[in-house]
Structure 1
């Protein structure tokens, strides 16, 4: 019985290690994406790419999302941005 408990413990420890590694990679990817978005925003401003979301649309999207109408908000955004 001790052998089974030992191997179960080893399997659980490996599972925790794998989960921890995956979580760390996920955090790093999120940081990378945030950095890329920031860089892209800077480049877009320098090149003069227009912002498709005006204040009116932004307010409408915020209202739809706060009301739980995420699908409608996405549809409105797609219609506005092409």
Structure 2
């Protein structure tokens, strides 16, 4: 979408704030990709969970099966 009105400096066509909805592996990957590509504006990642993004598939297999500790599911170390 090319419309940048109210979301940044129209002179450079780049938004200065981005909101990523969904604190999943995909949401985290989107934020990391933006940073990796040089985006230096504000990034906000929101989700319904009270904890940081985690790796969901192993939750039902490894954690509930008592093979992993829940802390191992974190996709990134706490900041």
- What TM-score bracket applies, with the shorter chain setting the length? under 0.3
Relative to its length, the structure with more strand (as a share) is 2
Whose radius of gyration is greater, 1 or 2?
1
Q: TM-score, normalised by structure 2?
A: 0.26
The structure whose RCO (Cα within 8 Å, separation 6+) is larger is 2
Relative to its length, the structure with more helix (as a share) is 1
Q: TM-score, normalised by structure 1?
A: 0.25
